[in-house]
Amino acid sequence: DFRLWVCLHEQTHRVQFAAAPWLREHMLGQIQELTDALVGQAESLRERLTEAVRSLTGRTPDAGRPAASLGVVGLLMGPREKEILSHLTAVMSLLEGHANFVMDGVDASVVPTVKTIRRRFERRSELQGALDRFVRRLLGMDAKMRQYSDGQKFVTAVVAAAGLDGFNRIWEAPEHLPTEAEIHAPERWIARVLDPGTPSR
């Protein structure tokens, strides 16, 4: 049952890219642009590292700004790189959240012990010790888990408001992909993509 449940998640990714044939090239293009920009700035790495350390220690006027939420990597990036990273973060949240939505949407007729599996997953998360949490942060797993959670909340909210047909318009074009802000405020995506005549809140 557990293997089938995980396979549902992975197969959903196959369906996503089949439904949106343009998505693969779009993401590869964004990753390439981000890589080129970072490699192209290699000469100024020492200077940017110094500024990043100063910002983290509160020694520059920029300390505490929202960009610092990206951590040291974010502090090394310029505006365009941060924009691309934000876009990729939103897309990954969408893909992982949608796959989780599908996983949790199955009932016992598909995966007989699905409720038990989900309950044990949630219980395991609650029982994490300090060392587990530290290792997860170190490996970036906490950020990854937030992508699953934030994306699933976004998908759930859009489907509840607009139905599956409304949500599936997301696969029509790059312009329909949510921004990082929209992942946290699904009503903005709905207003922009499904009902452009209504001002977003």
Cα separation, 179 vs 90, whole angstroms: 6
Give ∠ CA 142-17-157 in degrees, rounded to 5. Answer: 55
Residues spanned by the domain of 127: 2-194
Q: Tell me if 201 is assigned to some domain.
A: no
Is residue 146 assigned to a domain?
A: yes
Amino acid (one-letter) located at 14: R
Q: Quickly list DSSP for 145-200.
A: HHHHHHHHHHHHHHHHHHHHHHHGGGGS-GGGSPPHHHHH-HHHHIIIII-TTSPP
Q: Is residue 67 part of a domain?
A: yes
| 33-52 per-position pLDDT tens digit | 988 887 766 566 566 666 65
* Tally of domains in the chain: 1
Q: Model confidence over 65-106: pLDDT tens digits?
A: 434 345 556 666 778 888 998 999 999 999 999 999 998 888
Tokens of 60: 């520059």
Q: Answer whether residue 103 is part of any domain.
A: yes
Residue 199 domain-assigned?
no
